[in-house]
Amino acid sequence: MPTGSCWCGCGNPTTRRSFFLAIHDRKAESRLIRMRYGGIAGLRAAHGYTPSGKNLQKDFERWRQAAERVGALTTPATAAGG
């Protein structure tokens, strides 16, 4: 649940319904990916998405279709976004 302060770590206040200030969700995402995986390619490879491995686009489409069937794409967590 949102706590009233930005979850990126900047310490600034947010509205009651937001986890992050505008674009701070992307900063947090980018920083975490860089620290843990070295970048997007490293993130993908860590999860098996390499040119000779799994196909992210196909897996995402399968996931999206399954999520739509069960209504998972309209949950409050997803709708709240960043």
Positions in the binding site for Zn ion (CB under 5 A):
6, 8, 10, 21, 24
3-state SS track over 7-42: CCCCCCECCCCCCCCCCHHHHHHHHHHHHHHCCHHH
Kindly state the tokens that stand for 8: 């990126």
For residue 17, the minimal CB distance to Zn ion (Å) is 15
**Smallest distance from Zn ion to CB 9, Å:** 7
Alpha carbon 43 to its chain centroid, in Å, reads: 12
* Residue (25 or 44) nearer to Zn ion, CB: 25
Q: Residue 51 or residue 81: which is nearer to Zn ion going by CB?
A: 81
- CB nearer to Zn ion: give 8 or 18: 8
